[in-house]
Structure 1
Amino acid sequence: MKTIVIIPSYEPEEKLIPLTQQLIAKDLEVVVVDDGSGEKYLPIFNQLTGSTVLTHPENKGKGEGLKTAYRYIKETYANEEVAIVTADSDGQHSPEDIVCIATRASLDKDSLVLGVRNFDGTHVPLRSRVGNKITLKIFELTSGTKISDTQTGLRGFSSAHLEKMLEISGSRFEYEMNVLMVWAKEKRPFCELEIQTIYENKNEGSHFNPLRDSFRIYKEIFQFALSSILSFFLDYTVYPSRFLSEYHS
């Protein structure tokens, strides 16, 4: 099965160039989304030989970057099922781990494959360790599903799920959390594979804003949870016979 690696990128460092070259050398197709980085970063994108580069005229956010790539794949490979892997451009994902996720995604067409990290290492920034543990617990309480890494950007899935991925709301970092919430709500399977935990220069290359983006993520989680509670309440009060029949059966 053909595998396509999507790398949404905003104001990338030069490390993006060797990353794409290594992936192409491993027979993976690479789609990079320039999310409004501007003319200053054109020299980097122009050196991504062999990659497909899609460009936003202005910054729209990681979620929109992913969706732009999804639409491109959907149109370009309309009659072909492919494995899709999403990876970050800030050096957190090694080529070997990306290949590992790609291989599993090509074999497991039903699951959302997550590359999960170990946050207990001393090299992991404190805000990442604390933030991940808090988000994991909130996600578990609101979704009823336990996973090991809600913040991972290294994910794989079959193109059979592209339509669903495009329907999920969110334009920035909250989009990735919304994907997990929808996947959990619909009882779709997760597959977790351990990957390297890489933080270079205390993750200073990340564009994640701890306050602004965390607020967006938690707001989506609680809205999702409230919607589920209201849906259950309405079903129970409007269609009580349905619950009674299920109880007696």
Structure 2
Amino acid sequence: MPDLSAQPAGQQAVVIPALNEEIAIRAVVSAALTHCATVIVIDDGSSDNTLAQIADLPVTLIKHATPQGKAQALLEGFGAALNLGCSGVVTMDGDGQHSADDIPRLLAVAAQYPRHVVIGARLRGRDNAPGGRRFGNDVADWFVSWTAGQAIVDSQSGQRYYPREVLELAKNLPHSGFVFESEILIEAAEHGIRTVSVAIESRYQDGRRASHFRPFADVMRITRMISWRLATGGFRPGNYLRARREPPIVVE
């Protein structure tokens, strides 16, 4: 069990991309504010009442006139955090699938594992996830782990802690959409920054909007990005062996 009083040095921020999240966004942002004074919300061109739901909350708000995708939303949130001098950020989705109560756990593990990306891995109640999502996540984990040279658990989770060094690396990544969140783990690994996972609940309640993640189409895009990296890197046999032989780092 991590020491929940521990945190990485410096100011932290919570970054929340949001697209048409009027049902959940106020509760998500309010809960995040109880754990972190700096919350950055990127409204990615919502056509509903997402903005109105958080208009009175003390957040840094970035608005897109039209949807530009999750990757661009995250990049702008990272840029705002860097400009504020933050040493790292926690990311959360705006639909309520992530609990802000896990923020202290992610930060405590980040303090325990410097120069690591910390993933909130949806291991608790994993059987509640739709079968297509589980299959897509498993395939993505296999390929991301091979390319990164480390066994990674739940490479598609959007609840993460990124240290400042990774926020800087993210500026130069070419891909968008959900590919971005896989590629950032691989790029970090190429700079000696490893990944540790923290077990969180898998939440798929009724009434939430449909996920923006498309198991087939997005996994295919992730696979294409990884195939290119593997092909240009000589298929990285050493990485493959390390990912298969060494167990993932998972904190319960």
Do these two structures clear the TM 0.5 threshold for a shared fold by scoring above it? yes
Q: 1:148, 1:230 → 2: CA distance?
A: 21
Stretch of structure 1 that moved more, 17-26 or 183-192: 183-192
The equivalent of 2:3 in structure 1 is: none
The structure number with the bigger radius of gyration is 1
The equivalent of 1:32 in structure 2 is: 41
Contact 1:114–1:192 (Cα < 8 Å) also in 2: yes
TM-score, normalised via structure 1 length: 0.82
Structure 2 residue matching 1:50: 3-state secondary structure: coil
Stretch of structure 1 that moved more, 145-154 or 37-46: 37-46
Structure 2 residue matching 1:65: 3-state secondary structure: helix
Identity fraction in percent: 25
The equivalent of 2:89 in structure 1 is: 84
Contact 1:91–1:200 (Cα < 8 Å) also in 2: no
User: Counterparts in 2 of 1:228-243, with a 5 A limit?
Assistant: 228-229=233-234
TM-score, normalised via structure 2 length: 0.81
Structure 1 unpaired stretches of 5+:
233-249
Q: What is the letter of the counterpart of residue 24 of structure 1?
A: L
Distance change in 2, residues 1:45/1:129 (3 Å):
same
Structure 1 residue matching 2:175: 3-state secondary structure: coil
Q: 1:124, 1:202 → 2: CA distance?
A: 15
The equivalent of 2:222 in structure 1 is: 217
Is 1:73 the counterpart of 2:78? The answer is no
**Given the alignment, which residue of 118, 125, 128 partners 2:123?**
118
The equivalent of 1:138 in structure 2 is: 143
Is 1:19 the counterpart of 2:33? The answer is no
Q: 2:25, 2:145 → 1: CA distance?
A: 34
Is 1:205 the counterpart of 2:213? The answer is no
Distance change in 2, residues 1:231/1:103 (3 Å):
closer
Q: What is the letter of the counterpart of residue 44 of structure 2?
A: D
Is 1:5 the counterpart of 2:22? The answer is no
**Given the alignment, which residue of 129, 132, 148 partners 2:134?**
129
Structure 1 residue matching 2:95: 3-state secondary structure: coil
Deviation at 1:106, TM superposition (A): 4.8
RMSD: 2.4
Deviation at 1:107, TM superposition (A): 5.3
Structure 2 unpaired stretches of 5+:
1-9, 238-252
**Given the alignment, which residue of 101, 107, 110 partners 2:106?**
101
Structure 2 residue matching 1:118: 3-state secondary structure: strand
Describe the superposition over 1:52-85 as per-residue Cα deviations: whole angstroms up to 9, x where unpaired: 11011111111100101111122232xxx43311
Distance change in 2, residues 1:109/1:56 (3 Å):
farther
Contact 1:30–1:52 (Cα < 8 Å) also in 2: yes
Deviation at 1:86, TM superposition (A): 0.8
Alignment coverage as a number of residue pairs: 228
Q: 2:130, 2:72 → 1: CA distance?
A: 27
Describe the superposition over 1:144-189 as per-residue Cα deviations: whole angstroms up to 9, x where unpaired: 3211111111111222432212122222111001011212333322
Distance change in 2, residues 1:146/1:34 (3 Å):
same
The equivalent of 2:164 in structure 1 is: 159
Contact 1:86–1:153 (Cα < 8 Å) also in 2: yes
